[in-house]
Structure 1
Amino acid sequence: MKKHLVTIFIGAAILFSACHSLRKAPTDTKPSTKATATRITGKKWQLVELGGQPVAATINGKMPFIQLSDEDGRYSATAGCNGLGGSFTLKRNRVKFTLGMSTMMFCDNMEIETEFKNVLEQADNYTVNGDTLSLNKARMAPLARFQVIEENETTLLNGNWELDYISGSRIAFDGLFPDQKPSITFNLPETKATGNGSCNNFNITFAIDGNNIKFNDPAATRMACPGDGEATFFNILKKVTKYDVHDNTLNLIMDDIAIMRFQKK
């Protein structure tokens, strides 16, 4: 009888120990939403694959990319033609993109841009493997793959840029600036730029934080200038909220729309 009681006691002790261990085992080893979001935001990702097919390093002279900002929950992108943008939400490895307004230029290889926009509409989750980001739908094969780009945007902004596109005017670009195109020169870390508005020389101060930029009122010489080109240039410049540099092209952006475009000289 004694032996039987000892056996029961030992068995109960083993069972209690096993249950206690199960209660202590972690039930969720996934990283927090914030930690997961940090892995893909604040970086520039080059598009390298769409639908399992490789994507050229440049399309129409531009690198296709996407960049997500965790400060305002918005993204900017291009597939080699129009500037794309909108908002996004992250929750663990879940992602949802909402397309905003974009520029409406027509370019060669528009099929890449069309497919890229479809990816943004369909993607509902992402995975990161080293320097590779995949956008996926459910558990199907990746819709698109990206490689992280390590670059200093501030350094890329430096230099002399000449305007070749501006929005907000019913007058054609060549009609606004028949003699001389506006230009602007940056020399960061100095936060004062100089340039020419197509007639008068100017200098202008600005605040910059990552890809966010805000220009103050310019100080310009006071020569009398024909037409409305220079006034239009200065007015649009004050509406800029962001910038993007790729190769020899600088886009100045309001919300998600490129409202000025410059080429490096």
Structure 2
Amino acid sequence: MVSPSQSSLQTQQPAAGAPPPATPSTSFSQRGVAGAVASPFGAQAPQGGLNIVVMDPAHGGTDPGARGTGGIRESEIVLDFAIQVRRALELQGFQVVQTRQGNENPSFDDRSATANAQRGAVFVSLHISSTGLPGTVRVYVNSDLPPLADSNGLIPWDRAQAPFLGLSRTFGDLVQGLLVQRFKGSPETAQTASVRQLRTTAAPAIAVEISSVTVEDRADLDRMAPGVADAIARGAAAFKPAYVVPNSPGALP
């Protein structure tokens, strides 16, 4: 298994020329996050439960992510995986919103803002690792993040995931349980790590990491895409009955 320090989840670079991220506060309610920026790739869904999956193909632009000796680039592969994941999710009745559609590299905060603008959504970040047993897949959820609300009841932007950690774990375990059935040697439950992209996301959020760019033939990774897509889509569908929005700032599900 890839340790958090080795994982490509930790190494995504900010967009070139991007200013240092601000740390505004955000509030939670039954309607989600107040003041979130509207998504460029999808409209907000009506209330009524989980109906949107925000899909985040990692890296992009000047940041290729993990690279293999055969010219395999993580940023390109996850975009191809996203096509199949999207189709599988739409067959399950979900609306899919993507943080990037091509070879651009939105900042971490831009990706989170896309997710935080939605109502009734979960967030899935797609990665390819540089280590780990080829042919396996790991799901990560963010490690414990104490929800420190300020005197106005607002949760800082960089702790937006805190009220959703329990839901993220439930979602992650469902997806990982389906992945291990298809990809032997994968963990049986979701792993915990400090994942920058998940920390500022105010929704149930997971990162899915496929091993690995070290394969000699990219076709070995391409053959995994249908199974990964099916597990994510079926996991999201199975998670629907458990989906709720925290009622108050800092309230764990």
**TM-score, structure 2 normalization:** 0.30
> Which structure has more strand as a fraction of its residues?
1
**TM-score, structure 1 normalization:** 0.29
